[in-house]
């Protein structure tokens, strides 16, 4: 997608993270997954990030 489309995806994720009620906000694990799904060139970067996250405790 275009730069504008990718920025819109990230903005939508940010809006979810700022919901007034904490119960409606995504967990960090969900945010990471949404960011990885929104990344059009997640090839090598995605693999590196998954490796970094492997074994890391994320709340949620």
pLDDT digits (tens, 9 = 90+) for 12-49: 999 999 999 999 999 999 999 999 988 766 544 455 55
Other Cβ atoms within 10 Å of 30 Cβ, number: 15
User: Positive or negative, the Cα torsion across 16, 18, 23, 28?
Assistant: positive
Other Cβ atoms within 10 Å of 45 Cβ, number: 11
Closest residue by Cα to residue 50 from 60, 37, 59? 37
Q: Report pLDDT for 49.
A: 53
Q: Which residue would you say has higher pLDDT here, 57 or 8?
A: 8
DSSP-derived letter for residue 21 is S
In this prediction the pTM is 0.59
Q: Map out the domains of the chain as residue ranges.
A: 3-53
Q: Report pLDDT for 11.
A: 95
Token output for 29: 């694990």
């Amino acid at each position: 997608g275009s730069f504008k489309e990718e920025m819109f995806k990230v903005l939508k994720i940010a809006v979810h993270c700022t919901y007034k009620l904490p119960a409606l906000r995504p967990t960090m694990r969900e945010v990471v997954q949404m960011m990885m799904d929104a990344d059009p060139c997640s090839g090598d970067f995605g693999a590196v990030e998954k490796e970094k996250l492997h074994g890391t405790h994320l709340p949620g």
